[in-house]
Amino acid sequence: MRPAPLAVILGLSLAGAAFAADMSVRDQMKTVVEPGASTLFAVGGEVDPANGPDAATVPEARWDEALKAAKALKGVGADLTGSQKKPGEEWAKAAADFATLADDAVKAATKKDGAGFSKAANDLGDTCTACHSKYKKQG
C-alpha cells in the first residue's frame, strides 16, 4: 500500500512538526513556512522581555506551540539548504540563515528563553525578504 501523500498528512496535522522534503518550494512555503513563521512571530512578540514584565509568564502550551513551529521550520531549513533549489549565492545564504535561525528558535523555545526566541523570530523574518526579493515573483 502506498503511504498517503505528504501534503495530505501535512494538511491533517496542520503542518505541525512537518518533514517537508519532496514538496515544491511553493507548497513548503504555504503549508509549513507561512503558518510556522506566523506562530514564531506571534510568540516572539509575547515572550520578548522588551514588551513588559509579564512576557516571562507565557503559558507552557504557548511555548509548546512555539517549539513545534520552530521544529517544522528547522525541517524546511534543512531541506532548503540541503538542495540548492535555485541558482545563485543568495539562495545558499538565505537558506543557511533560515536554517540557523530556526535552530536558534528551537533551542530558545526549549529553554524558554524569551529574549533569544524573539530575536531568532525577528531575524528569521529578514531571511524571508532576503530570499523573496531575488527568487519570488513579486506581485
Q: Rule CB under 6 A: which residues touch ligand HEC? A: 25-26, 29-30, 33-34, 37, 80, 91, 94-95, 98, 124, 127-128, 131-132, 135-136
**Closer Cβ to ligand HEC, 90 or 113, answer by number:** 90
**Contacts with 68 (C-beta within 8 Å, 6 or more apart), sequence order:** 16, 17, 39
Between CA 114 and CA 38 the distance in angstroms is: 16
**CB neighbours (10 Å) of residue 73?**
30
From the CB of 1, what's the least distance to ligand HEC, in Å? 31
**Closer Cβ to ligand HEC, 56 or 129, answer by number:** 129
User: Terminus-to-terminus CA distance in the chain, angstroms?
Assistant: 42
Q: Which three cell numbers stand for residue 106?
A: 528551537
From the CB of 74, what's the least distance to ligand HEC, in Å? 12
Between CA 39 and CA 70 the distance in angstroms is: 9
From the CB of 65, what's the least distance to ligand HEC, in Å? 16
From the CB of 90, what's the least distance to ligand HEC, in Å? 8
Angle, vertex CA 99, rays to CA 14 and CA 26, nearest 5: 50
**Closer Cβ to ligand HEC, 24 or 51, answer by number:** 24
**Closer Cβ to ligand HEC, 3 or 18, answer by number:** 18
